[in-house]
């Protein structure tokens, strides 16, 4: 089975290549089915290797496969190789599994799009890149995947590039990814300089490089583009968020956990603090959004913060656990929101929705399951993983725990708000826009937005349930969101399946909280009180207290605390002016100097030219002067 590792990434690559050259001929829906089959095959291959690993003892569960030497240069020898161990196979399982569902869903969602096949070209390339990221046995192969994912999100976000917003968001995604790359490249340089290799096994053996963690920590700050990425087609957003961008950073951190542990103690603390702050910040932004996908986007950023809080607290198992459960319910929510948008004929604003549970039964039931999972209602998946993280945070510092707890309340609140606004209350789609949602109508009037790009029809909308090909993935994901917590139940040692499974990979870094059972139960009990957020949302949104809602949803929150817009303002203002100043400097000063010299020479020579008068007597005179000078020189030499 070991020799078959390459098959996991190879299948999506084959799909990609096939569709690049034959996609147009195959067309819809064949291209979609081929792409889905490839990723599905990849999932089966992963499952096969997974069962092989299960049959082995803990120490023998790591294996590598080297395909060829990629960069054999002097002391640096980078191989194109894969590393399969409990961590990477876990990643592969849920990446390929969820990706298969998303591919299937996309066949329905992208139905009728003129660029149907192209979409699947990108999707397959995306899955391939993601698998390279998690399977690489050294930093460089991971970086190849990291960049591939970045490039694919660029392609996918700017997929409908006719809209300026999409094109800009795609570009921004790539450039932001590149800012992270600088950290990655610098980290690789320091690693190579210190240990002479980039392979994980070599790094883990040496683990002295603090720079790796600090550099990777930079990546935490890189969530600016996530909310903007929402412009892309919905399944992509789900894929990006649930299975990739979130996991990439956490995965690399977990992979490098011995290094994080070896680093100075402020490094994990910094990671935890940044994580907690991110979680809280994004949650406050999420609770003021009107766009159904933007709520989920900021929610993802917030959950990412939780995972980094876990990593910083030494809770690697909890981080991976939350990554997996989050992948289940966030993919579910994103695909569900896509189904809603699909049914609403392109409308994305929640102020135009309401009472959709009556017309979209499957979507609403599955979405509600996703909501309960993310809000932390026991026994759904999110409860277990979030509880685990909060326990470790408590051990690290009660202050971190408090931030995490507050975020949990907010999470319950904003997710309930979304569910109530979309599926409950009164229907705001059965009348024309101006009548049903005057506030929204006025906004769109002011901004000159008409139908398309997130805005639905202005007349009455007739929502409908999505076809089976879209609802089937929802049902599967809903099932996983219910039972996902079973991966790592904290009650007994024998039920901590994930912890035992990951043990060989994370035993360096995993913290072991010495909390007693009573403390644990107490903390879990307190955690359930975060559901007051849910109750508060009932009061505000289900009871239709618009006045209260207006007081809670501050404009600053809606604008993301102006974080993003200030960066844009800087880039478009002083940043651009600075660039222009340098370009002007080049033209005026550097090139000006060159041309100045040119002019000087030209002028000088035209003066000199005047000496060539053409009169023999002038030449004779200079000749005579020259003779005098030469003779004088000779004489002076002879004399002195």
Which residues are near other proteins by CB under 8 A? 68-77, 118, 140, 143-144, 147-148, 151, 154, 158, 161-162, 164, 167-168, 170-171, 174-175, 178-179, 181-182, 185-186, 188-190, 192-197, 199, 202, 205-206, 208, 579-580, 582-583, 586, 590-591, 594, 598
Q: Which CB sits closer to other proteins, 550 or 609?
A: 609
Shortest CB 105 distance to other proteins, Å = 25
Count CB-CB contacts under 10 A for residue 172: 21
Q: Among candidates 290, 125, 168, 26, which has minimal Cα distance to 571? A: 168
CA 259/CA 244 separation, integer angstroms: 23
Shortest CB 346 distance to other proteins, Å = 18
3-state SS string for 533-593: HHHHHHHHHHCCCHHHHHHHCCHHHHCHHHHHHHHHHHHHHHHHHHHHHHHHHHHHHHHHH
Q: Which CB sits closer to other proteins, 73 or 608?
A: 73
Q: Among candidates 362, 301, 306, 296, which has minimal Cα distance to 329? A: 296
Shortest CB 445 distance to other proteins, Å = 22
CA 508/CA 159 separation, integer angstroms: 43
| Measured CA distances, 598 to 69, 545, 603, 606 (Å) | 52, 76, 9, 12
CA 515/CA 494 separation, integer angstroms: 18
Q: Which CB sits closer to other proteins, 96 or 177?
A: 177
Q: Which CB sits closer to other proteins, 169 or 311?
A: 169
Q: What is the SS3 assignment for 82? A: strand
CA 627/CA 528 separation, integer angstroms: 109
Shortest CB 271 distance to other proteins, Å = 22
Shortest CB 22 distance to other proteins, Å = 14
Shortest CB 403 distance to other proteins, Å = 31
Q: Is the dihedral of CA 102, 104, 108, 113 positive or negative?
A: positive
Bridge partners of 63, per DSSP, are: 84
Shortest CB 240 distance to other proteins, Å = 18
Shortest CB 498 distance to other proteins, Å = 30
CA 122 to chain centre: 16
Q: Which CB sits closer to other proteins, 157 or 356?
A: 157
Q: Which CB sits closer to other proteins, 178 or 520?
A: 178
Shortest CB 396 distance to other proteins, Å = 30
Q: Which CB sits closer to other proteins, 28 or 387?
A: 28
CA 616/CA 314 separation, integer angstroms: 96
CA 392/CA 575 separation, integer angstroms: 42
3-state helix, strand, coil in the chain (%, to 5): 75, 5, 20
Q: Among candidates 207, 173, 90, 186, which has minimal Cα distance to 143? A: 186
Shortest CB 225 distance to other proteins, Å = 13
Q: Which CB sits closer to other proteins, 75 or 525?
A: 75
Q: Which CB sits closer to other proteins, 597 or 623?
A: 597
Q: Among candidates 293, 428, 307, 404, which has minimal Cα distance to 356? A: 428
Shortest CB 448 distance to other proteins, Å = 16
DSSP 8-state class, residue 65: E
In the block, tokens 């992963």 appear at 46
Q: Which CB sits closer to other proteins, 51 or 66?
A: 66
Shortest CB 270 distance to other proteins, Å = 20
Q: Which CB sits closer to other proteins, 579 or 619?
A: 579
Shortest CB 164 distance to other proteins, Å = 6
Scanning 196-265, the segments in alpha helix (DSSP H) are 200-206, 210-220, 234-238, 246-255, 257-262
Q: Is the dihedral of CA 20, 21, 27, 32 positive or negative?
A: negative
Q: Which CB sits closer to other proteins, 99 or 211?
A: 211
The structure tokens listed for 560 are 């993301």
Q: Which CB sits closer to other proteins, 68 or 615?
A: 68
């Amino acid at each position: 089975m070991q020799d078959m590792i390459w098959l996991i990434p190879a299948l999506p690559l084959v799909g990609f290549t096939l569709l690049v050259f034959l996609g147009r001929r195959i067309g819809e829906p064949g291209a979609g089915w081929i792409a889905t089959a490839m990723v599905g095959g990849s999932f089966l291959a992963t499952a096969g290797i997974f069962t092989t690993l299960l049959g082995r003892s803990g120490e023998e569960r790591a294996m590598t496969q080297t395909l060829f030497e990629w960069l054999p240069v002097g002391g640096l020898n980078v191989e194109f190789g894969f590393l399969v161990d409990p961590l990477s196979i876990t990643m592969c399982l849920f990446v390929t599994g969820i990706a298969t569902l998303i591919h299937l869903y996309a066949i329905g969602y992208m139905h009728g799009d003129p660029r149907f096949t192209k979409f699947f070209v990108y999707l397959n390339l995306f899955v391939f890149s993601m698998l390279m990221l998690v399977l690489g046995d050294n930093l460089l192969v991971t970086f190849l995947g990291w960049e591939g994912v970045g490039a694919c999100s660029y392609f996918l976000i700017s997929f409908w590039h006719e809209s300026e917003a999409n094109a800009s968001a795609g570009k921004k995604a790539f450039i932001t990814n590149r800012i992270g790359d600088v950290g990655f490249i610098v980290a690789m340089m320091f690693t190579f300089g210190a240990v002479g290799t980039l392979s994980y096994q070599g790094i883990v053996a040496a683990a002295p490089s603090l720079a790796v963690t600090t550099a990777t920590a930079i990546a935490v700050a890189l969530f600016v583009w996530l909310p903007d990425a929402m412009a892309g087609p919905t399944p992509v957003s789900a894929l990006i968020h649930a299975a990739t961008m979130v996991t990439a950073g956490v995965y690399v951190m977990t992979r490098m956990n011995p290094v994080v542990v070896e680093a100075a103690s402020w490094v994990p603390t910094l990671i935890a603090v940044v994580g907690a702050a991110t979680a809280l910040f994004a949650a406050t932004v999420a609770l003021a959004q009107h766009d159904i996908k933007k709520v989920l986007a900021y929610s993802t950023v917030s959950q990412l913060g939780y995972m980094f809080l876990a990593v910083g607290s030494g809770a690697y198992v909890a981080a991976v656990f939350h990554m997996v459960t989050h992948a289940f319910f966030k993919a579910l929510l994103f695909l569900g929101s896509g189904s809603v948008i699909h049914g609403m004929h392109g409308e994305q604003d929640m102020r135009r929705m309401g009472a959709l549970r009556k017309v979209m039964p499957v979507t609403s039931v599955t979405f509600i399951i996703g909501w309960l999972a993310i809000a932390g209602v026991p026994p759904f998946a999110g409860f277990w993983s979030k509880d685990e993280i909060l326990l470790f945070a408590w051990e690290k510092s009660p202050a971190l725990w408090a931030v995490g707890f507050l975020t949990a309340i907010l999470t319950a609140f904003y997710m309930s708000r979304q569910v109530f606004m979309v599926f409950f209350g009164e229907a705001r789609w059965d009348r024309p826009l101006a009548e049903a949602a005057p506030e929204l109508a006025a906004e769109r009037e002011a901004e000159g937005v008409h139908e398309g790009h997130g805005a639905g029809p202005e007349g009455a909308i007739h929502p409908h349930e999505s076809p089976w090909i879209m609802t089937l993935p929802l049902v599967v994901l809903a099932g996983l969101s219910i039972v996902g917590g079973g991966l790592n139940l904290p009650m007994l040692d024998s039920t901590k399946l994930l912890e035992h499974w990951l043990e060989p990979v994370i035993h360096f870094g995993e913290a072991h909280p010495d909390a007693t059972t009573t403390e644990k139960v107490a903390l879990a009990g307190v955690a359930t009180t975060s559901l007051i957020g849910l109750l508060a949302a009932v009061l505000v949104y289900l009871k239709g207290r618009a006045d209260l809602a207006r007081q809670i949803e501050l404009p600053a929150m809606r604008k993301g605390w102006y974080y993003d817009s200030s960066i844009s303002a800087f880039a478009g203002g002083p940043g651009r002016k600075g660039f222009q100043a340098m370009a002007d400097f080049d033209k005026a000063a550097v090139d000006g100097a060159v041309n100045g010299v040119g002019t000087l020479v030209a002028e000088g020579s035209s003066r000199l030219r005047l000496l060539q008068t053409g009169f023999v007597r002038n030449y004779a005179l200079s000749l005579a002067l020259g003779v005098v000078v030469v003779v004088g020189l000779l004489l002076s030499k002879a004399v002195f």
